[in-house]
């Protein structure tokens, strides 16, 4: 049983990373081996349209471009569970997230009939952290991120989207030009809600592994 964890946020020890690490602990508790990768440590781009994955006789579900992401694509397709997280930047996932999904989809897409070459099942947990409140997310972001979650259905497993709202962007707001935020309210929200978010992430990681075993 293999769980792959991909942090698509540039921050290695902040909200998204903490959610993913809690989910990873949940996966471990259910008996899975876990590999954790910070995507911003790697050197890669989005799809380069080299078309090698579309050549006759090419290995299916394999990206041939020689960079740090191609082995990660292989690991995703071999995994039993994928836990992937992104912060919301300007209402969207990070650029690293889009680059991964672009490459993942293209090498699994048949240009003969537009079917999916991938036939295994990978359960997915998608964790999204944001400065926005739940009300703001529900009004402006929810539909888009549910669409991003549906894109991961190409891995043929369950896809669980977990949005984490109203996170702290910095530890000390007084050091920054961020007067538009109520620092005390943000701190209280963090203390009240983030421990629950971490526990929910743990439970999701645990559940996705257990469901794979059933």
Beta strands per DSSP E along the chain? 2-7, 33-38, 81-87, 122-129, 156-164
Contact 82, 123 (CB under 8 A): yes
Using pLDDT thresholds of 50, 70 and 90, give the confidence band for residue 212. confident
What CATH number labels 2-213?
3.40.50.360
Using pLDDT thresholds of 50, 70 and 90, give the confidence band for residue 196. very high
DSSP label at residue 111: T
Spatial separation of the C-alpha atoms in residues 57 and 26, rounded to whole Å: 40
**Mind listing the pLDDT tens digit for each residue in 135-162?**
999 999 999 999 999 999 999 999 999 9
What is the structure's pLDDT at 190?
Answer: 85
| Predicted TM-score of the model (pTM) | 0.93
Average pLDDT over residues 38-59: 94
What is the structure's pLDDT at 214?
Answer: 66
Q: What is the dihedral of CA 43, 131, 91, 98, to 10 degrees?
A: 20
List all residues 6 or more positions away from 84 whose beta carbon is below 8 Å from its beta carbon: 5, 6, 8, 20, 97, 100, 124, 125, 126, 127, 152
Q: Are strands 81-87 and 33-38 parallel, antiparallel or unpaired?
A: unpaired
Average pLDDT over residues 58-85: 96
Average pLDDT over residues 15-38: 96
Looking at the predicted structure, is the pLDDT value of residue 95 above 70?
A: yes
Spatial separation of the C-alpha atoms in residues 72 and 61, rounded to whole Å: 12
């Amino acid at each position: 049983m293999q769980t792959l964890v991909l942090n698509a946020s540039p921050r290695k020890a902040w909200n998204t990373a903490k959610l993913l690490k809690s989910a990873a602990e949940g996966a471990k508790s259910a008996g899975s081996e876990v590999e954790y990768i910070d995507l911003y440590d790697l050197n890669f781009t989005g799809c380069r349209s080299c078309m090698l994955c579309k050549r006759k006789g090419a290995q299916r579900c394999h990206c041939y471009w020689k960079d740090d992401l191609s082995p990660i694509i292989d690991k995703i397709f071999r995994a039993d569970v994928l836990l992937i997280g992104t912060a919301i930047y300007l209402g969207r996932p990070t650029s690293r997230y889009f680059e991964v999904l672009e490459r993942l989809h293209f090498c699994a897409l048949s240009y003969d009939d537009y079917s999916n070459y991938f036939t295994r099942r990978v359960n997915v947990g998608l964790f999204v952290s944001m400065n926005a409140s739940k009300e703001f997310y529900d009004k402006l972001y929810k539909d888009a991120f549910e669409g991003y979650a549906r894109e991961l259905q190409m891995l043929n497993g369950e896809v669980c989207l977990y949005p984490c709202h109203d996170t702290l962007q910095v530890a000390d707001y007084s050091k920054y030009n961020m007067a538009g935020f109520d620092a005390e309210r943000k701190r209280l929200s963090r203390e009240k809600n983030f421990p629950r978010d971490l526990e929910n992430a743990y439970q999701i990681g645990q559940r996705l592994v257990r469901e794979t075993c059933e």
